[in-house]
């Protein structure tokens, strides 16, 4: 099943009917330069280029003004893809959690919005302030929502009818409809990943993953890929017990803050 995109108000008859519902780095041999990845991140967040050459007071005022401008633009993007007068979300900022693999792995996160139709169909909606991904990266973008779909299925016994990513910057919606078999495979994948991480922890074996961003990394002296020596592996610490129904302290490591977003 392929995800579908829309870039206009949610009035298509084919839509799911749910009305109720970083720092400066210095490459070897060169002077300090600005990390282009950090520039891009700040530009995406504020809607303008970085303000490193502006005095602190003026820069802060400019950032606030840019933030307010970008917020207005994001609201415009939202109203371009949805008409809130047609919606009555069932839940907002809902904490969901469950254990999978006979208590082996805890899944937990906050759903931005959950729509429930009169027939009981579920639609999971997640808001993104960045731009919509290219088609080749849509699967990675939906990875987070499959977490939510799996937890809802395991806790409520219902496979969500639709997973929706709303990209406010580009005024685009990305919809996907999972099925039970896919969620079962996804659950096995998560358990396999968890087991691989545990083995890496036990063996103290976290290998580098080189990419074109390595040239901007300021930790090459500690990276085996560049002949460096990693720091000592941290000692194991005891963590207080928790249960899936315990509200975590926020902010924390939550599914909603997925780095692919």
The span from the first CA to the last CA of the chain, in angstroms, equals 21
Whether pLDDT at 127 is above 90: yes
Question: Does the pTM exceed 0.75?
Answer: no
Whether pLDDT at 206 is above 90: no
Residue 236: CB atoms within 10 A of its CB come to 7
H/E segment holding residue 122: strand 122-128
pLDDT at 97: 95
CA distance linking residue 151 with residue 154, whole number of Å: 5
Q: Which of 10-19, 40-49, 144-153, 178-187 has the lowest mean pLDDT?
A: 10-19
In angstroms, the Cα distances linking 40 to 67, 169, 215 are 15, 15, 16
Question: 154-172: per-residue pLDDT in tens?
Answer: 999 999 999 999 999 989 9
For residues 183-204, give the mean pLDDT. 93
pLDDT at 258: 39
Mean per-residue pLDDT over the chain, rounded: 77
For residues 111-129, give the mean pLDDT. 94
For residues 242-261, give the mean pLDDT. 49
H/E segment holding residue 37: helix 36-46
Whether pLDDT at 13 is above 50: no
Whether pLDDT at 261 is above 80: no
| All residues at 6 or more sequence positions from 108 whose CB lies less than 8 Å from its CB, including other chains | 95, 96, 97, 151, 244, 248, 254, 255
């Amino acid at each position: 099943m392929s995800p579908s995109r829309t870039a206009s108000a949610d009035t298509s008859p084919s839509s799911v009917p749910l009305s109720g519902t970083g720092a400066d780095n210095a490459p070897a041999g060169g002077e300090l330069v600005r990390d282009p990845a950090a520039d891009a991140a700040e530009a995406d967040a504020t809607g303008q280029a970085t303000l490193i050459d502006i005095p602190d007071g003026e820069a802060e005022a400019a950032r606030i003004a840019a933030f307010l401008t970008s917020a207005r633009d994001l609201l415009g993007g939202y109203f371009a893809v949805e008409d809130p007068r047609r919606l009555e979300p069932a839940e907002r900022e809902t904490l969901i959690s469950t254990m999978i693999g006979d208590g082996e792995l805890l899944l937990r996160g906050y759903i931005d919005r959950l729509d429930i139709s009169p027939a009981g169909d579920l639609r999971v909606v997640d808001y993104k302030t960045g731009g919509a991904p290219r088609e080749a990266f849509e699967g990675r973008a939906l990875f987070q929502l499959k977490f939510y779909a799996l937890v809802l299925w395991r806790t409520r016994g219902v496979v969500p009818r639709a997973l929706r990513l709303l990209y406010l910057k580009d005024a685009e919606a990305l919809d996907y409809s999972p099925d039970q078999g896919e969620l079962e495979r996804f659950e096995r994948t998560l358990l396999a990943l968890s087991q691989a991480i545990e083995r890496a922890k036990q063996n103290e074996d976290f290998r580098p993953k080189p990419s074109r961003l390595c040239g901007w990394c300021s930790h090459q002296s500690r990276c085996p890929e560049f002949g460096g020596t990693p720091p000592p592996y941290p000692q194991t610490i005891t963590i207080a017990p928790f249960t899936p129904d315990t509200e975590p302290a926020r902010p924390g490591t939550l599914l909603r803050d997925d780095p692919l977003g």
